[in-house]
Amino acid sequence: MSDLGVIGAGAFGTALAIAQARAGRDITLWGRDTEAMSTAQKTRQVPRLPEVILPENIIISPDLETVFEHNTLLLAIPAQQLRGFISEHAAHLRGKRLVACCKGIDLETGIGPAQTIEGILSDANVAILTGPSFAADIAKGLPTALTLACRNAQALKSLQDALSTPFLRLYRTEDVIGAELGGALKNVIAIACGACIGAGFGESARASLMTRGFAEMNRLAAHMGARRDTLSGLSGLGDLALTCMSAQSRNFRLGHAIGTGDGFDPSVTVEGAATAKAVSNIGKKEGLDLPIISAVARLVRGEIDVTTALGELLARPLKEE
């Protein structure tokens, strides 16, 4: 039996499997595309990371049962699909150490990945792994620091020791809500920044969106019971800086396509689109002032264009910072 199972063979799940394998751990990697997994078994490559050869101590399996044998599972499943997966396979996941490796807010329930799992599996040790990271960097072995959040201090320390590698440094926190919100909300602001650059509004406008977007992230996080210092760390400010400044970010690229009017590949998972809608709904329900997040929600719904969104933001009443 291997030490660790990774469920989800997209770019991020595969990159995490590679990082763990390079640290000398035996890994089982499962992906839902049976044909792609079969090809990967032969070529030791996956479509999302075509330039990377998978280490031999990664077992590529199209059979979920083999992954469920392991006590620690990294769940690299899109946020909007996570609840369905956990509900369907709850009997196999009870009592295990489960680490959510996605960033988003469930559109129907309005909660994050770790809380989603906790709501279904009360006996599981649940954590979330989040922070500033691109899959390609992790897969190449480039230095990366992430946040690992779990409510159970003992389980958290054990997971930190188990998952840290020489090039993947994990910082721990018990503030699960803060870690969830930081990772989810920065995706929304990245869409706004992408749209800003795509529309030609310039770097100064992007800096303003990042700064005021960070204020909105903190406003919502405080309302939801998160610690302010969590949002100022890797899972909030760190991830915000990375995704708002780089075209490697899927969320930034979606925003850029909206800004330029170009098409965007609908098969690419962009967590921030659904999160913007979910958080906009939360803001309305709770009476929170979240103008940038609300504008992004309207943009991804196709209700307004970028110029209109900017005009509405600039027309807001003047106030103290």
In the residue annotation, 140 being an active-site residue is answered as no
Distance (Å) of CA 116 to CA 10, 186, 287: 21, 19, 24
Distance (Å) of CA 227 to CA 174, 221, 232, 276: 10, 7, 9, 21
CB 86 within 8 A of CB 115: no
In terms of Cβ atoms closer than 10 Å to its own Cβ (0-12, 13-18, 19+), residue 261 is exposed
| Dist CA 28 CA 42 (whole Å) | 15
Return the structure tokens found at 239: 């991830």
Looking at 186, 284, 285, 319, which residue is catalytic? 186
Q: How many residues does the chain have?
A: 321
| Dist CA 137 CA 143 (whole Å) | 8
Which secondary-structure segment (H or E) carries 197? Answer: helix 176-198
User: Could you list the active site residues?
Assistant: 186
